[in-house]
């Protein structure tokens, strides 16, 4: 049961990053676009699916709360401020998305809200991941820091990196779903976004090496990380080629693979820890009776049904905007 719920948690988080990542990226790019027609097309590209994408964040939170309560309590104590700010950004983004359609004189407020809310949520997610990777003050499974222990140079760079990563994903989605000048504008932005993301990731890796020499030791112990890195480098080449050729289908797939590689590097580096290097999945797990009880409801029915629903929704809305 522990292995099963660990997989469910990992898959839920990955699906959230992949799916809500691109619509948060579209929201970020929305703030840098002034053309009304392009803005309409950008929102049309995500309007059928954006609210469903956020469901995977709820799934991950529920699984963490029910299956790994010790980690849930520790992480919520450590990330109280960034979680609240992330949720505020997601709420403001959702309200702005709906309100701007009906607003006229106040539309500019909701335009800003959509972009700022998306950026806030993306940055806070990246900052929390960075704080986890850098290390939280945890003693005997309990958080012993203060409300700002999550904030460091590493977490800030991580927040910026994920924001640009989401923007890259959003540009790939726009290129895939839109046509005309909206698609062309997205394609032109991808080389710059890719370069910035790579520079930030390299900076994070060097930052890690300078502060913790055991990082390289973990790579030597788990050499599959070098295989994932090689796949990522080849994938970046695929992003460059597909952008030059205007192959938006291959481009979006390549961006998805890049995110999966980054996710795998993080997961493999810190396995079996749920909170590096303090709490393992086994230590954080709920009693076996609780895990079994959850399995017969959420695990056996709700999670598979959500996967089917997600697949069907993307299949139904697979065409270009306006086609």
What confidence tens digit (pLDDT) does each residue in 167-221 have?
999 999 999 998 889 899 999 999 999 999 999 998 888 887 776 656 667 777 7
Instruction: Determine whether 20 is exposed, middle or buried from the number of CB atoms within 10 Å of its CB (0-12, 13-18, 19+).
Output: buried
- Rounded CA-CA distance 84/124 in Å is 9
pLDDT at 213 (0 to 100):
53
The answer to whether 131 and 150 are in contact (CB under 8 A) is yes
For the chain, give the longest Cα–Cα distance. 60
Residues of the chain with pLDDT under 50: none
Domains of the chain with CATH codes: 2-316 (1.20.1630.10)
Q: Is 247 left (phi over 0), alpha (psi -120 to 50) or beta?
A: beta
pTM here is 0.92
Which structure tokens are listed for 191?
A: 């080389």
Distance of CA 22 to the CA centre of its chain: 8
CA separation, residue 40 to residues 14, 27, 114, 116 (Å): 28, 12, 13, 18
Candidates 15, 318, 20, 25; CA nearest to 170 is 25
Q: Is the peptide bond before 277 cis (omega within 30 degrees of 0)?
A: yes
Mean pLDDT, rounded, of the chain: 88
Question: What is the three-state SS of the chain?
Answer: CHHHHHHHHHHHHHHHHHHHHHHHHHHHHHCCCCCHHHHHHHHHHHCCCHHHHCHHHHHHHHHHHHHCHHHHHHHHHHCHHHHHHHHHHHHHHHHHHHHHHHCCCCHHHHHHHHHHHHHHHHHHHHHHHHHHHHCCCEECCEECCCCCCCCCHHHHHHHHHHHHHHHHHHHHHHHHHCCHHHHHHHHHHHHHHHHHHHHHHHHHHHHHHHHCCHHHHHHHHCCHHHHHHHHHHHHHHHHHHHHHHCCHHHHHHHHHHHHHHHHHHHHHHHCCEEECCCEEHHHHCCCHHHHHHHHHHHHHHHHHHHHHHHHHHHHHCCCCCCC
CA separation, residue 11 to residues 94, 111, 168, 301 (Å): 24, 32, 21, 16
pLDDT at 212 (0 to 100):
63
Bridge partners (DSSP) listed for residue 280: 273
- Rounded CA-CA distance 65/58 in Å is 10
CB atoms within 10 A of CB 34: 8
- Rounded CA-CA distance 3/146 in Å is 32
CB atoms within 10 A of CB 303: 17
């Amino acid at each position: 049961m522990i292995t099963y719920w660990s997989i469910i948690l990992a898959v839920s988080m990955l699906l959230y990053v992949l799916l809500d990542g691109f619509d948060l990226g579209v929201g970020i790019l929305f703030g840098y676009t002034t053309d009304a027609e392009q803005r309409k097309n950008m929102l049309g590209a995500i309007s059928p699916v954006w609210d469903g994408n956020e469901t995977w964040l709820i799934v991950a939170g529920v699984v963490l709360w029910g299956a790994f309560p010790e980690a849930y309590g520790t992480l919520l104590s450590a990330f109280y401020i960034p979680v609240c700010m992330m949720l505020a950004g997601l709420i403001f983004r959702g309200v702005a998305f709906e309100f701007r359609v009906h607003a006229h004189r106040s539309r500019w407020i909701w335009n800003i809200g959509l972009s700022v809310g998306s950026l806030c949520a993306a940055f806070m997610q990246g900052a929390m991941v960075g704080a986890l990777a850098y290390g939280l003050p945890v003693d005997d499974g309990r958080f012993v820091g203060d409300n700002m222990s999550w904030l460091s140079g590493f977490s800030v760079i991580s927040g910026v990196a994920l924001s640009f990563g989401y923007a890259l994903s959003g540009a790939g989605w726009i290129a895939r779903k839109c046509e005309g000048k909206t698609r062309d504008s997205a394609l032109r932005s991808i080389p710059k976004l890719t370069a910035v993301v790579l520079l930030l990731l390299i900076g994070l890796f060097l930052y890690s090496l300078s502060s913790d020499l055991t990082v390289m030791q973990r790579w030597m112990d788990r050499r599959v990380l070098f295989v994932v890195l090689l796949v990522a480098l080849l994938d970046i080449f695929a992003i460059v080629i597909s952008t030059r050729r205007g192959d938006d289908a291959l481009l979006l797939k390549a961006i998805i693979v890049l995110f999966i590689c980054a996710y795998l590097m993080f997961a493999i580096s810190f396995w079996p820890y749920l909170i590096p290097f303090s709490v393992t999945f086994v230590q954080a797990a709920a009693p076996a009776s609780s895990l079994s009880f959850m399995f017969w409801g959420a695990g056996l029915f709700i999670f598979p049904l959500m996967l089917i629903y997600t697949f069907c929704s993307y299949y139904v809305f697979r065409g270009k905007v306006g086609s």
